[in-house]
Structures are given as structure tokens and as C-alpha cells.
Amino acid sequence: MNLKKAQIQLGESIFVVIIIILIIVLGIVFSSQAQKDEYEQRAETFTNLDSVMLGQFATSLTELQCSTLQVEELSCFDLHKILAFQKLQETNNDQSAQYYYSQLGDANITLELIYPEEKFIQIYLNELNLGNISGVPIQPQEKPIIIPVSIYDDLKQEYYFGVLHITMYSP
């Protein structure tokens, strides 16, 4: 009789221990999943904030902005400065890529002329691809930042409607 009672109590103890272990394991799984989610969300937020900074920086590039008597115009790029910038990238690729990589990083900045005619102009595309050299694959941001800008043609003295597409690449 005593033996049977002891067996039942032992069974009870084992059952309780199993339940406690199960609860602890579930807790660990839940908390690690929650932490993982949080880190992923934080990484995404920081990527978004980085792309906001990149957008701010790209729209205020002094090399490309319109200016009258050395006063810069907001949200305006000079068409001929853009073309000269493109030429600089082509003729002096390594040096300019290195210089602008420190400021713009892994990114693709394209200007789309919308009105009066449609035309695409590649302003910056990182070709050093340091992300790939380091072995961590980089991916383009899901939603590129889109910022409308005026494009000023100094020869015709006309403003065109353009849009900057800024895509950041991140690991």
C-alpha cells in the first residue's frame, strides 16, 4: 500500500518537473523569437533612417544644385551640372567612386525626367560593391525614396519636372 502511494507521488513529481521544463522551454523559445523579431525590426528601422539621411544628403548635393549668385535653390538640380557630374564619373571612375562612396555608400540614385519628355539619368551607382567584397550579400531596399525635384536647363532657361529615385543597398 505504502509502495503504491510512493509510486503515485513519484509519478506526480515527475509530471510536475516535466510541466515546469516544458514551460521553461516554451518561455525560452518565445523570448528568443521575440528578441529576433525586435532585432529585425530595429535593423529595418535603422535602414529606413539611413535611407532618409541619404535622401536628405542626395537632394542637397552642392555639386548638382541650382544656384543664382551663389545662393542655392531648394529642390532644384542644374541639368548641365548633372551631365558634368556624369562625365566626371565616367572619366575618373575609381577616384570619384571612392570619394562618393564615403558619402553615399551602397546606393543607386537615378533622376527621371517626367515633363516635358521622359528620360532617365543615372546620377550615382556604387560599383565598388564593398558589401560583396566583405562577403555579406547586399540587397536593394524594398521601397526606394522618391523625391520630386526641378531640373533647370540654363541654356533654355526652363525648369523641367523630375523625380529622384534613391535606392539604398543594405546587408
Partner 1 sequence: MNTKKAQTEIIGLVVIVIIVSIAMLFYLSYATGKGETSTRDNIYKEYTNNELSVSFIQTLLKTSIENCGDASFEDLVYDCGTKRQITCTTGFNSCEQANKTVRTILNETLDEWDLAYGFSIIYSHTRQEHIETYNCSNQNEEIDRAALGLFLIPYFPQPGNARLELGICR
Return residues touching partner 1 (CB under 8 A): 16, 20, 23, 27, 30-31, 34, 38, 41-42, 45, 48-49, 52, 55, 74-76, 114-116, 118, 143, 145-150, 157-163
**Nearer Cβ to partner 1, position 116 or 137?**
116
Three-class secondary structure assignment of 33-63: HHHHHHHHHHHHHHHHHHHHHHHHHHHCCCC
| Complex with partner 1: residue 50 or 88, whichever CB lies closer | 50
Integer Cα distance of 98 and 126 in angstroms:
9
Q: What's the min distance (Å) between Cβ of 13 and partner 1?
A: 11
Least separation in angstroms between CB 95 and partner 1: 31
Instruction: Indicate the residue among 140 and 148 with the shorter CB distance to partner 1.
Output: 148
Distance of closest approach, residue 132 Cβ to partner 1, in angstroms: 27
Neighbouring C-beta atoms of residue 50, cutoff 10 Å? 15
Identity of the residue, 10 or 49, whose beta carbon is nearer to partner 1 in the bound complex:
49
Residue with cell 515527475: 14
- Distance from C-alpha of 155 to C-alpha of 171, rounded to nearest angstrom: 42
Q: How many CB atoms lie within 10 A of CB 129?
A: 13
CB 91, min distance to partner 1, A: 30
